[in-house]
Amino acid sequence: MMKPQKSYYDAEFGQIIIEDNHWTLAQCAVLGDRRVPICVNFEHGQIGELSSLQREAIRQALTLPPDVLHITAPLVLQNYDVYRDMIGDESMPLLANPIQVWDQVTFSYIYVPPHVEYDLDIATFKLIAECDWNPEHGLEVRFRNGVADDADQIGEIGW
């Protein structure tokens, strides 16, 4: 019986290993002062098969600008405010500065989907995180061409 493959070496991105049932790059994305693992699903489940758009999405995740959290904060704050209004919760303070929203977020990983299978024509990845305001459903922030364009609870944003 063949042992399942646990690692793959990619000429561009280096080691990609199985961790918690996710293919995870040895390199991490950097968001502010936090290092975030990058997980990929290979195209058609074929180990090592990354489409050009997936490669571009990984490159974008690895080269996010140093101020990415400042740029993305208003989008995440919008999600926070919608949730705050919805539940009318006094325990959720109004945030004076959008950047404060990140104090309530714990990054899990960046997910790069199989672009061919999802019929994506733009390099896309999602930042998956836990958030204090909705611990049950968490938070996902979608990036297209390296720019965040949507933030919502996990599973609520399409590709």
Classify residue 1: in a domain, yes or no: no
Burial of 28 (0-12, 13-18, 19+ CB in 10 A): middle
Give the number of domains in the chain: 1
Per-residue pLDDT of 85-143, as tens digits, reads: 888 877 788 888 999 999 999 999 999 999 999 999 999 999 999 999 999 999 999 99
Classify residue 2: in a domain, yes or no: no
Which domain range does residue 22 map to?
7-159
Task: Give mean pLDDT, residues 52-57.
Answer: 98
Classify residue 114: in a domain, yes or no: yes
Per-residue pLDDT of 8-48, as tens digits, reads: 999 999 999 998 889 999 999 999 999 999 999 999 989 99
